[in-house]
Amino acid sequence: LNFGNAEFVRSAASPSQFVRDGAPQIVFAGRSNVGKSSVINRLLGRKNFARVGSAPGKTSQINYFRIDRQAYLVDLPGYGYAKVSKAEKERWGQLMESYFQDEGELITLGVLIVDARHKPTADDCVMCDWFRQSRCPMIVVANKVDKLKKSEVEANLQLIRDTLQIAEGEPMVAFSAEKGEGRETLLRELSLHCG
């Protein structure tokens, strides 16, 4: 699968705009500011494909990118931004519920991006549950690992595993969107779920 061949398809703010063509969908989720856009840009080898640092939490929409004409990379709206209104949070919840319950979507992999430095938040655990309930395989990406000392990495990954209750055999990738660490490992995992 050639991740260099990516094109923006559309944004969906409501179920009528969802993409339901039967092609596999790899779904990216994460807290606002965790670096989800940066991870996607790093994976695709592009600079400003997914928007980096744009007003966090302001975008309650799902972005679809087509990869190599055969799969979709689906960018879910970031969550957990403190300054978001209650109405906006409810809109996020409804959009997620619609997306995960939609029969037409073929979700083949959930990619949950968390901050390598911190214990996953309650919101991260909720997102993790969305993926589990949809019964798709899931991979956790611990981003911003460049901000940790080498000696801290292992304990932090274990804390993330424990908090999200990730089984030993389930994949987790230490990642740095900034430095590129983990890119090859993650691309390999994604390729396994595209066909």
Total Cβ atoms within 10 A of residue 48: 8
Q: Residue 154: which H helix or E strand, with range?
A: helix 150-164
Name the residue nearer to ligand GDP (CB basis): 123 or 146. Answer: 146
DSSP for 61-87, written as a single string? -EEEEEETTTEEEEEPPPB--TT--HH
Nearest CA among 94, 95, 92, 131 for reference residue 114: 131
State which residue has the least CB distance to ligand GDP: 35
Alpha carbon 25 to its chain centroid, in Å, reads 12
Name the residue nearer to ligand GDP (CB basis): 15 or 56. Answer: 56
Least gap, CB of 142 to ligand GDP (angstroms)? 10
Six-digit token pair at 190? 């994604």
- Calpha distance 193→138 (Å, rounded): 10
Least gap, CB of 177 to ligand GDP (angstroms)? 4
Least gap, CB of 104 to ligand GDP (angstroms)? 26
Amino acid of residue 62: I
Name the residue nearer to ligand GDP (CB basis): 26 or 177. Answer: 177
Going by their DSSP bridges, the two strands 62-67 and 71-75 should be labelled as: antiparallel
Name the residue nearer to ligand GDP (CB basis): 187 or 192. Answer: 187
Name the residue nearer to ligand GDP (CB basis): 35 or 120. Answer: 35
Least gap, CB of 47 to ligand GDP (angstroms)? 12
Least gap, CB of 77 to ligand GDP (angstroms)? 10
User: Which residues of the shown chain bind ligand GDP in the complex (CB under 6 A)?
Assistant: 30, 32-38, 52-53, 56, 78, 143-144, 146-147, 176-178
Six-digit token pair at 149? 């000392």
